[in-house]
Every structure is written in C-alpha cells, then in structure tokens.
A and B are shown apart, each in its own frame.
Chain A
Amino acid sequence: MARPKLIVRDLSKVFTIDEGFGKFSSITAIDNVGLEVNEGELVTLIGPSGCGKSTLLMILAGLYDKTSGEVVLDGTPINGPGLDRGVVFQEFALFPWLTVRNNICFGLKNKGIPAGEHDRIVRHYLKMVKLEEFEKIYPHRLSGGMKQRVGIARALAYSPELLLMDEPFGALDAQTRTSLQQMLVDIWAQTKKTILFVTHSVREAVFLSDRIVVLSRRPSKVRAIIEVKLPRPRSRLSEPFLRYEEELEELIARELAEEGAERGAHAP
C-alpha cells in the first residue's frame, strides 16, 4: 500500500491558561493522538463537544503549535501554516472588506499565481460552489450557506494538497446543511481532494466519510476508527446507514456516560 498522505504521530497539546491575577493552570487537550489519512480519502473526526477535535485540526492547519509529536504531510513535517493545506472555518472567516472574488484571490496572490490566471480560477471554483454571479458582491450580503460556499471555494482555489474543515456546517440550519453536505461530496468526487472534516454530528459523519475517527473526551485520544462501507450516493434513511449511525451514537454516548460517572464519583 502507498504511503499515507497525512501522518499524525503521538500528537499532544497542553494549553497554559492565564486565569488572571497572575494565576496559571494547564489543560491537556490532546493526548498522544495517532492518525493516518490516505490520498483522496474523506475522513471525519468526531467526538463529544469540547474534546479537542477542533484543536487537533488547528494544529494540522499550523495555526496552533503542538506540544509534542509529529505531523507529516506528503513526507514533509508540518510546523506552521502553509498553502499546501486549505482551511474552512466554522465561522466562515471571510474578509468583509473584500468582494467574493478578492476573498478567493487572497490565497492565489500569496501563492504567487500570476494575475492573468486569477479570472479563470475564480470562475472555475465559483461555478463549483454554484455562486458564479456573486463575484463582485461583498460577503455581508450573502446568507450563511453562501458564505461557507465562498469559504470552500477560497480554500480550494490555490489547489492545496489537503482540505481541513472545522465544523464547516455547524453554524447553518438543517436544510442548508444537508445541501452543502451533498455539494461537498460532489466537489470531493470532482477534485479527488484529501479531506479531513471535523464534526459533532453523527449523521453528517456517516453521510460524508470513508472513515470516521472517534475521539474520546478531553484529553483527546483515538477511541475508535470506523470504516463506512456504504456505497455512494448514500441515503440517510437506508437500513445500513441507520445502523452506522446507531453504532456511533452508542460509542459517543458511552464516552459521555463515563465522563458523567467520573464526575459523580468526585461529587461530595
């Protein structure tokens, strides 16, 4: 088998928290996480809220420093942000002072792609997210779903090797969510990108993923890796789909139950 696209080895993250008035404490957010993602694979990270899955993704994006461990993309260790990765944020994070077009061009310019090609690239990716006629619009006039489509186009435009998505549909309503999930699967099929996707929705994970990595509650450890062997296109209502959903729900519920039990034990 070929070498994995992305390798995460013994990754740990300890946050130092400034509690004010000169007091500091530390919290272990991620504890020895190991993970591999293959070329062209769509992998989701799931776990109870606050388990550090977004932190893990931000470390892969190079936006947070890791405390220890190793992240290797295409054989090169990652130690900071870079244009070999595209990041899609939960809060969209579009630049309000730039038009949709210029938001997308932001990364192109930094990558040094000649200006003559920008037009073609912008059109190509706007077409992919079905927002062709919005090139000159400022982001504040777009709805949440449209903003995130721009966010996806912006992250794909400079052709990163790996697409990192941090609960990208978490702030959207249910209908928009469903339609964007479908759009993402289509884009993935079209571009054959390697995608790592963080979510807290079991249904979303089963719908999208080749594999699902279940993280434990904080500090994050890999609790289970589930291969989703459903044919695509997937129906959210099919029998096997629901079985995967149930299995995952149980796994996560068990995580939360253990936490509850521990809390109970400490209670006076």
Chain B
Amino acid sequence: MARATEATISREGGEPQARSRAAPSYYLSAFLDNFIPLAFVLILWEVVARLEIIHPALFPTITEIFAKMWELTLEGIFLRDVLHSLARLLSSVFFAMIVGTACGLLMGTSRWAEKIIIPPLNFFLAIPGIAIFPIVILWFGLTEKAIVFTLAFEASLSIMLNTWGGVKSVDASLINAGRALGADGYRLFYKVLIPAALPAIITGYRQGFSRAWRILVAGEMLASIGTGIGFRIFEARAFLASDVMYAGVIVIGVLGFLLERVALRSLEIFTVQRWGMLREL
C-alpha cells in the first residue's frame, strides 16, 4: 500500500479535488491507446487476405468485411440484430444482478443461508450454462425466454459467488468500527457491509456479464430465433457468406469490448477506484 508522505499529501490536498472534469486529451489518448494496436492487426489482416494465401471465400479482406458491415447497417439488419442481442443480454444480466446480489448478500450474512446455498451453487457452477440450454428449450420453446433464462442463470451464479466472497472477506475492523459508531442490523448492512464488499460485487457483475455474453451468441445460434448477432453469423454460414460471418464476429468483439470497458469499467472508476479500494499498478 502506498504510504504517501505528509508533504506530497498536503501539496495534493491543498486543493481538495472537487469532481474535476477529465481533460479532452484524456479521452483522446485513451482512444489512441486502444486503437493503435488494433489498427496494426487490421492492416496485417488486409495484407494477408490480399495475398490470397487462403481462399478469399474463406478469408475475405478487411475492406470487404467493412463494406458488408456498412451495407448491412444501411439495410437496418445489423442495428436490429445488435439491439435484440443487447436487449437479451441486458435484461438477463439485470435479473441476474438482482437475484445474484440478493442471494450473495444473504449467504454472506446468514450462516444458515450459506449452508443451504453453497452445495447447489458449487454444483451448478460446474455446469456450463449452454449445457442446460436444450433443457430450457424444452420448457420455454425456441423463445426469447429460453435465452434470457439461460443467460440469467449463468450470470447470477458468478454474481452470487463473488458477492458472497466479498461480504465474507470484509475487514472485521470495518465492521467493528461501524458497530462502535452506532450502526447495527440494517444500517450496518447497507452503510458498511455493502460498500465494503463493492469491489467484489463489481467483479461479479463483470464476470456475469462476460459469461452471459459468451452464452448469448451460442444461444442465438441454437435457438434460431431470427434476430441477433449470433443468429446472423449462423445463418450466413448456410450461404457461405463469409463476409457476413466475419462482420458479425467483429461486431460481437467490438460490442463486448465496449460493454466491458465503457459500462463496467466506468462503474468501477466512479466507485471503488475513487475510494482507493483497488490496488494501483
């Protein structure tokens, strides 16, 4: 843990940093940091594809793929696919957050709940969500519900596990301080336990998100639901439309990346990182 000297502190602390706005140059350099390495990959791809070492039907050039992407976007197909995929993802993760956080908190505070939930939780965690998908289809048919249920199931387990671990490992001295300062029961719970466990809870959300994202694509392929990025890729396979398939894969990558980096990372920056609860590297 960094132990700043009093001198550096008083220099920094002289002007207590009120919520200062990030400079525009921050966003620019953050963008470049992420973009430049990716640009290299794209250029390399273009060169290899143009050399036609691999048959162009299997490995189209980046320019072709982007052209196709543009075309699909103009036709409105991509937008609809993306929105449908996102709707499935967000609704399922939303449910998973509620159920997972609630159960995790319960497990972390009640020995009784812990004893009952842990064995089945460990059992279900060992099952890849996609394995139960055929069963879920039997229940719900080839519907949105089937996909959302499977995703929510998968994500809630990760969230539960992380929340439970987070609450269990809250520093005893923080709980003692809370109690000594007159917080008990409900108040101790939401004023001390939850914020103290927040780093772990957010990690759970991130994990839940990424597990759900993975299954979403597979689920859309299996459910042949008619829309969604996963479905689009799977359908294109039947017509050997490799440019559509690659375009779909790229969109999945970009979306997943943005969700993780922009949505979840921001949540982290505004909470636990601001409080210094994450170790700086």
Among B109-117, B160-168, B246-254, B271-279, the stretch in contact with A: B271-279
B198 at the interface (CB under 8 A from A): yes
Residues 11-34 of B contacting A (Cβ, < 8 Å): 12-14, 16-18
Residues on A with beta carbons closer than 8 Å to the beta carbon of B17: 136
CA–CA, A106 and B180, complex, Å: 11
Question: Chain B interface mostly helix, strand, loop or mixed?
Answer: helix
Q: Are B16 and A93 in contact (CB under 8 A)?
A: no
Q: Are B176 and A63 in contact (CB under 8 A)?
A: yes
CA–CA, A35 and B48, complex, Å: 84
Q: Are B181 and A143 in contact (CB under 8 A)?
A: no
Beyond A81-B182, A96-B275, A106-B183, whether A137 also contacts B5 by CB under 8 A is no
Q: Are B275 and A146 in contact (CB under 8 A)?
A: no
CA–CA, A61 and B276, complex, Å: 28
B192 at the interface (CB under 8 A from A): yes
Closest to B2 in A: A140
Residue from the list A95, A141, A142, A146 in contact with B177, Cβ < 8 A? A95
Residue from the list B173, B180, B275 in contact with A97, Cβ < 8 A? B275
B42 at the interface (CB under 8 A from A): no
Residue of B3, B176, B198 most packed against chain A (CB within 10 A): B176
Q: Shortest distance in angstroms between B135's beta carbon and chain A's nearest beta carbon? A: 38
B4 at the interface (CB under 8 A from A): yes
Q: Are A97 and B198 in contact (CB under 8 A)?
A: yes
Q: Are A87 and B277 in contact (CB under 8 A)?
A: no
Closest to A107 in B: B181
Closest to A145 in B: B6
Q: Are B5 and A133 in contact (CB under 8 A)?
A: no
Q: Are A97 and B3 in contact (CB under 8 A)?
A: no
Beyond A91-B173, A93-B177, whether A133 also contacts B182 by CB under 8 A is no
Q: Shortest distance in angstroms between A147's beta carbon and chain B's nearest beta carbon? A: 10
Q: Shortest distance in angstroms between B191's beta carbon and chain A's nearest beta carbon? A: 7
Beyond A141-B13, A144-B3, whether A110 also contacts B174 by CB under 8 A is no
Residue of B3, B9, B13 most packed against chain A (CB within 10 A): B13
Q: Are B13 and A134 in contact (CB under 8 A)?
A: yes
Q: Are A138 and B183 in contact (CB under 8 A)?
A: no
Closest to B12 in A: A141
CA–CA, A133 and B179, complex, Å: 28
Report the number of A-B residue pairs with Cβ-Cβ less than 8 Å.
Answer: 97
CA–CA, A155 and B16, complex, Å: 23
A85 at the interface (CB under 8 A from B): yes
CA–CA, A87 and B198, complex, Å: 25
Q: Are B275 and A110 in contact (CB under 8 A)?
A: no
Q: Are B4 and A141 in contact (CB under 8 A)?
A: yes
Interface string of A91-112 (1 = CB under 8 A from B): 1011111000000001100110
B261 at the interface (CB under 8 A from A): no
CA–CA, A111 and B180, complex, Å: 12
A154 at the interface (CB under 8 A from B): yes
B237 at the interface (CB under 8 A from A): no
Q: Are A141 and B276 in contact (CB under 8 A)?
A: yes
A135 at the interface (CB under 8 A from B): yes
Beyond A133-B13, A141-B12, A146-B6, whether A89 also contacts B277 by CB under 8 A is no
A128 at the interface (CB under 8 A from B): no
B256 at the interface (CB under 8 A from A): no
Residues on B with beta carbons closer than 8 Å to the beta carbon of A136: 16-18
CA–CA, A106 and B191, complex, Å: 9
Beyond A95-B174, A133-B13, A134-B16, whether A106 also contacts B179 by CB under 8 A is no
Q: Shortest distance in angstroms between A68's beta carbon and chain B's nearest beta carbon? A: 22
CA–CA, A91 and B193, complex, Å: 18
Residues on A with beta carbons closer than 8 Å to the beta carbon of B276: 96, 138-141
Beyond A137-B16, A143-B6, whether A63 also contacts B195 by CB under 8 A is no
Closest 10 CB pairs of A and B: A140-B276, A110-B182, A93-B177, A136-B16, A87-B180, A93-B173, A107-B181, A97-B195, A96-B275, A81-B179
Residues of A within 8 A of B (CB): 58, 61-63, 81-83, 85-87, 89, 91, 93-97, 106-107, 110-111, 133-146, 154-155, 158
20 contacts between A and B (CB under 8 A): A63-B180, A89-B176, A91-B171, A93-B171, A93-B174, A93-B177, A95-B177, A95-B195, A96-B276, A96-B277, A97-B275, A106-B183, A133-B16, A134-B13, A136-B16, A141-B276, A143-B3, A143-B6, A146-B9, A158-B182
